[in-house]
Chains A and B, each alone.
Chain A
Amino acid sequence: MKQGILTLSELTKFIELLKTSYKVFAPVKKEEGVFFEEVNSADDIALGYYNSKLPPKRLFLPQCEVLCTFENGQLVEIPIADEKCAIFGMRPCDALALSRIDMVFDKEDLKDPYYLARRKNTVLLSLVCDKPLDTCFCTSVGGGPSSGDGSDIRMVHLGNRLLLEALTEKGESLISSAKQFLKKPKQSDLEEKEKIVAESEKKVPRIKVDGIKENLEKGFNLPLWSAIAERCLGCGVCTYLCPTCYCFDITDEVKGEKGKRIRTWDSCQYPLFTLHASGHNPRPSKTERMRQRIMHKFFYAVENFGRTFCVGCGRCVRSCPVNLDLRESIELITGNKACVSTRK
């Protein structure tokens, strides 16, 4: 079974069904915004949200995670988490971002077992975006409000019901197992979906990204890097909130005889990120670090994987404390200065 209509009045039962096999995460409204949290029932879920404050990447790449433990200096291995999870209602940009991180963590010869176990054990139900923000630009960077990359099931919100479409085998078997709550979609449902997607796509602001790789390829020493970095405080929020940023640090934490080897999010915006033990630092100032961030997303990643490591979610634009706008930086690099700043 590949498609199904779930009436919202049946959502409670659907979530209950999910909870029999999975830990269920969904958007939950809180004072500071919407966050992906474990939900007990459908009542907790905020369906009509714009996007979550934090990307749900932490469900796969936690901010802190124990790689192994040790006692008296000797390794004590721990089992890799194998909990089954379902993520309900992730935005397509964030699901697309996961498919980007997969490229790095699921390489043929070098695989990351912690991340991949979570990916394998998670079924991802994304929700077609009908509420793009004016800081969004997914359609300019290879995504879109209905992009299915990275998702197992794509859901579209049609008034009082959801249309579910399986995109993977995992999604198909979930839809089949929930068939008692699902109806066969009518032609009118599919037409309504097309309309919503088309309208949403029209609503997403566009920026000019064409030629950015070529410009970056020859632009390593351009003066614009120091201009872009000038205002930057180096706080790293742009990287922490970025759904495609995956860089991490590994440190040991000890208490008495026991300890843990911990992986934590790190950021290319910090000087310690690249500081050698000798004192030498290949990226000593924020100019080099800002260049690294943009080069990585729009040139190095394209070179290595054929994809930009930016999905246009706009979180870095919305959260920068000094209003640094990635869209403006992009347009500065591509030479198209026509970007509409939404910060007034």
Chain B
Amino acid sequence: MENPYIPYPVTIEEITIENEARDLKTFKLVFDRKEDEEKFRYLPGQFAELSLFGKGESPIGIASSPTEKGFLLFTVKRAGLVTSELHSSETGRKIGVRGPLGKPFPWERMEGHNIVIVGGGFAFTTLRSAITYILHPQNRPKFGKLMTIYGARTPGELLYKKDLEIWSKDDRIELHVTVDKATEGWKGREGLVPNIVKEVSPSPKNAIALVCGPPIMIRFTIPVLLNLGFAEDDIILSLEMRMKCGIGKCGRCNIGARYVCVDGPVFTYKELEGLPAEY
């Protein structure tokens, strides 16, 4: 029996400071043992526990796509004990990764559909994974149109600027990047994500929407999508909760009878509507 509490050893190969506030960094991790990389089979939407011996573990969404071989990406906001320690780490440090955990976006169901991706702030991580996954030449034909609406408070808070630049020139994806408040030199859109969704009006026809962002963005984006005609079942959300074990044992991340770590973190809006509002 594999021990699910024991992390795989990995090394921090690269650290990217993502935002002006410098509290968001992307960590590129490389497995120390090739066989662990093969065991770590994941799909976009899943997460893992980043493990720093002496500090603890923190559940973080996987920002890389399984189509990107040889490494994992995690974008981490500096918040608590583990993430602060991680933020003060340098490349070459050895840490642990435990996972992959949770359920991914419903990829089988998404095949053959147009995909609308709506992201806000630093919740864009697993959506980056999803976009990269869909854009892979082997996967792209399996999906219809791909539209992405992504917003942050200011231009300096947008994640993955290199990816955004590449995607903006790729005609296989319709990309709308927006900021709540423009700063000097910003040539893109200005406006809150829900308003941009309304303006762009993605068609609900044969479409599935993946929506990740801060609670306030979610609250105002859902009615827009419903008004456009998206079914409750076709709006996919991803939740965050305090976690320890990540394998449905430690008991803290439940919403009603469902555990975010094993039954989620991905839920349809319809599923969430059927659960108590305790998240």
- Measured as residues with beta carbon below 8 angstroms from the partner, the interface class of chain B is 35 or more
Q: What's the minimum C-beta distance from A150 to chain B, rounded to whole angstroms?
A: 18
Q: What's the minimum C-beta distance from A12 to chain B, rounded to whole angstroms?
A: 38
Instruction: Tell me whether A88 is interfacial, beta carbon within 8 Å.
Output: no
- Do the beta carbons of A246 and B249 come within 8 Å of each other? yes
Residues in B with CB closer than 8 Å to A249 are: 244, 250
Residues in B with CB closer than 8 Å to A67 are: 5-6
Within 8 A of B (CB), among A55-95: 67-68, 70, 73-75, 77, 80
Within 8 A of A (CB), among B34-82: 52-58, 79-80
Q: What's the minimum C-beta distance from A61 to chain B, rounded to whole angstroms?
A: 10
Instruction: Tell me whether A296 is interfacial, beta carbon within 8 Å.
Output: yes
B79 is contacted by which of A113, A278, A295 (Cβ under 8 Å)? A278
Instruction: Tell me whether B96 is interfacial, beta carbon within 8 Å.
Output: yes
Q: Mark B234-246, 1 if CB is under 8 A from A, else 0.
A: 0000001110110
A-B contact pairs, 23 of them (CB 8 A): A67-B6, A70-B54, A112-B4, A112-B247, A247-B250, A247-B252, A248-B244, A248-B251, A252-B54, A252-B56, A261-B53, A273-B242, A274-B252, A274-B253, A275-B242, A276-B240, A276-B242, A277-B242, A278-B79, A282-B241, A292-B254, A299-B257, A301-B257
Q: Mark A256-271, 1 if CB is under 8 A from B, else 0.
A: 0001010000101000
Given A73-B53, A111-B1, A277-B80, also A250-B249 (CB < 8 A): no
* Complex Cα–Cα for A303 and B79 (A): 35
Instruction: Tell me whether B248 is interfacial, beta carbon within 8 Å.
Output: yes
Instruction: Tell me whether A107 is interfacial, beta carbon within 8 Å.
Output: yes
- Do the beta carbons of A288 and B54 come within 8 Å of each other? no
Q: What's the minimum C-beta distance from A240 to chain B, rounded to whole angstroms?
A: 13
- Do the beta carbons of A277 and B54 come within 8 Å of each other? no
- Do the beta carbons of A250 and B245 come within 8 Å of each other? yes
- Do the beta carbons of B79 and A75 come within 8 Å of each other? no
List A residues at the B interface (Cβ < 8 Å). Answer: 67-68, 70, 73-75, 77, 80, 104-105, 107, 110-114, 116, 220, 246-252, 254, 259, 261, 266, 268, 273-278, 282-283, 288, 292, 295-296, 299-301, 303-304
- Do the beta carbons of A110 and B54 come within 8 Å of each other? no
Which 10 A-B residue pairings sit nearest by Cβ, starting from the closest? Answer: A247-B251, A277-B80, A277-B79, A70-B53, A300-B257, A303-B257, A254-B54, A220-B276, A110-B247, A250-B244
Residues in B with CB closer than 8 Å to A111 are: 1, 4
Residues in A with CB closer than 8 Å to B252 are: 247, 266, 268, 273-274
In the complex, besides A74-B9, A113-B5, A248-B249, 7 extra interface pairs with C-beta distance below 8 angstroms are: A77-B3, A112-B249, A248-B244, A249-B250, A250-B244, A250-B245, A303-B257
By beta carbon, the residue of chain B nearest A245 is: B251
* Complex Cα–Cα for A111 and B55 (A): 25
By beta carbon, the residue of chain B nearest A101 is: B249
* Complex Cα–Cα for A196 and B249 (A): 38
